Structure 1
Amino acid sequence: MCLFASLLLHKQDKGFEDAKAVIESLKNKGVSAIGAAGFCWGAKVVVELAHINAGVLLHPSFVTVDDIKEVKAPLAVLGAEFDHLSPPALVKQFEEVLATKPEFDGFVKIFPGVAHGWTVRYKAEDEAEVKAAEEAHNDALEWFAKHVK
């Protein structure tokens, strides 16, 4: 089961508390494999969640190198070439940290020609934007298929 942690109507701390409650409820119902995807500030929620089997961060916001150092599950980070909140240089630092964690997989990909938010805010008539969003969505789904069993 995948939990989408971008709860746009709430503040980040509320999103984290809500996500923790959902995960606990799922575990109480016997669900043993849980993945979480965080879009924008939802990425910060995902890196703070414990007891998930895998996470995906899509155009993350407010995530720090120290946050990535604390991650204890397979993590994919999908960044944008043009992103003032998580520029490619920062995403590359995330990749360097994940490479020091041989106990689980890490995956980092920077999508060329797109800006922050491209996976959810794209122009449907722009073929390149749609293709990049679909590719990111497929990468996330493949990550979960591999790690959430």
Structure 2
Amino acid sequence: MGDHCTTDRPTPEGEVPTGELTKLGGVDVYVAKPADYPHSPSKLLLLLTGGTGIKSTNNQLQADKYAAEGYLVIMPDQFDNDPAPNTVNMAELNKDASWLETIKMKSAEGIKSFMIDMWLARHTPEKVLPILHKVIEGAKEEFADAVANGGGIYGVGYCFGAKYILILAGDHPDTVAWGQESPTDEEQGAVKKAPVIKAGAIAHGTMVTKEDLEAVKSPVYIIAVKDDPLFPEEEVLTPGRQALEKNQVDHEVQIFPGVPHGFAVYGDYDDSKIKQSQAQAYGLMLGWIQAH
């Protein structure tokens, strides 16, 4: 994962989140509602973040932006109160010299990379998908009006969260859809779960596989960064796009050149090109969801 997946950009001056941290299905969530909800109809949108998680001010502001467009936004803590490490406290690490010896790394950057690898090992589909399903089932019950008004649940995902939007937009064996091992017995895997979300939009995914894209059945909009090693075009995006075309899945792919991985996540940049690209990416993702 890149730095932009694990570290927030500066928050635009004067902006303060307006949603609330609460629980849904027993899971911590950030909920952002349109100003006139429930007096005016809304649609339910599941927003899955990068590694900075639901307590990130920028992620909360991103949810608020979608809420201002008429969506009831649910942003779950898919990391179970364990967001990605973005700083290294050397004093704490030095308390355990033996641990430092085992990782055999001298630089703070190397330690951070190791810690992120360990963090990713704790947050696999087997751990994340059951959390998301709890939230989705809770949302269907608590916000049934918004689900009904939208004819289903919409989804947007950034960085880490993008992979899971694709999974939720896919047609998977029953076990795989809940984060379990793929069945070896063909009969056991015969029962499939239909896509959980009606339509999805993702930006600069990480750990996305071509198999994730091959399974997608709901309409998806994909924003990628040119020459992005975290979402490689040749190995993942191109074969994935070919599979979407072959399977006749409604989709679009937009590749942004000259911007860093993570550029679409809300936050301030000095570079005007990145700022413009960020605003454009948001507009494209919002427009896709609105059109479906």
TM-score (norm 1): 0.86
> Residues 78 and 109 of structure 1 are in contact (CA less than 8 Å); yes or no, is this contact kept in structure 2?
yes
Check conservation: 1:3, 1:36, Cα contact below 8 A: yes
Structure 2 residue 169 is the aligned partner of structure 1 residue 23: no
Query: Per the alignment, do residues 81 and 7 of structure 1 end up closer, same or farther by CA in structure 2, a change over 3 Å counting?
Result: closer
Amino acid at match of 1:59: H
Map of 2:215 onto structure 1 = 70
1:2 equivalent in alignment to 2:121? no
Task: Indicate whether 1:145 and 2:290 are aligned.
Answer: yes
Q: Contact conserved, 1:35 with 1:52, CA < 8 A, in 2?
A: yes
Query: Shift of the alpha carbon at 1:26?
Result: 2.2
Distance 1:84 1:121, change over 3 A: farther
CA distance in 2, matches of 1:110, 1:2: 24
Unaligned runs of 5+ in 1: none
TM-superposed CA distance for 1:16, in Å, is 2.7
Q: Distance in 2 between matches of 1:122 and 1:83?
A: 20
Q: Secondary structure at the match of 2:273?
A: helix
The gaps in structure 2 that reach 5 residues or longer are 1-43, 54-78, 80-122, 169-194
2:259 aligned residue (106, 111, 114): 114
Distance 1:121 1:115, change over 3 A: farther
Matched ranges for 1:127-142 at <5 A: 127-142=272-287
Shift in CA distance, 15/7, structure 1 to aligned 2, threshold 3 Å: farther
Structure 2 SS opposite 1:24 = helix
Shift of 1:123: 5.0
What residue number does 1:39 align with? 158
What does residue 93 of structure 1 align with? 239
1:21-77 alpha-carbon deviations (Å, 9 max, x no partner): 222122224213211111111112112223210111210111111111111211111
Deviates more, 1:3-12 or 1:90-99: 3-12
User: Which deviates the most, 26-35 or 138-147?
Assistant: 26-35
1:125 aligns with 2:270: yes
CA drift of 1:109 comes to 1.0
- 7 and 80 in structure 1: CA distance in 2 versus 1, 3 angstrom threshold: closer
Change over 3 Å in CA distance of 1:77–1:96 after alignment to 2 = same
Question: What amino acid sits opposite 2:160 in the alignment?
Answer: W
Q: State the identity as a percent.
A: 29
**Higher deviation after alignment, 65-74 or 2-11:** 2-11
Aligned residues: 146
User: Equivalent residue of 2:259, what SS?
Assistant: strand
Q: Answer yes or no: is 1:59 the counterpart of 2:204.
A: yes
What one-letter code is carried by the residue in structure 2 that aligns with 1:84? P
8 Å Cα contact 1:60/1:85 also seen in 2: yes
Query: Which one has the largest radius of gyration?
Result: 2
Structure 1 runs of 4+ off > 4 angstroms?
Answer: none
Measured after TM superposition, the shift of residue 98 of structure 1 is: 1.1
Q: Which structure: greater strand fraction?
A: 1
Q: CA deviation at 1:82?
A: 3.3
Q: Output the CA distance in 2 between the equivalents of 1:37 and 1:71.
A: 14
Q: What is the rounded CA distance, in whole Å, between the counterparts of 1:84 and 1:130 in structure 2?
A: 22
Structure 2 counterpart SS, 1:113: coil
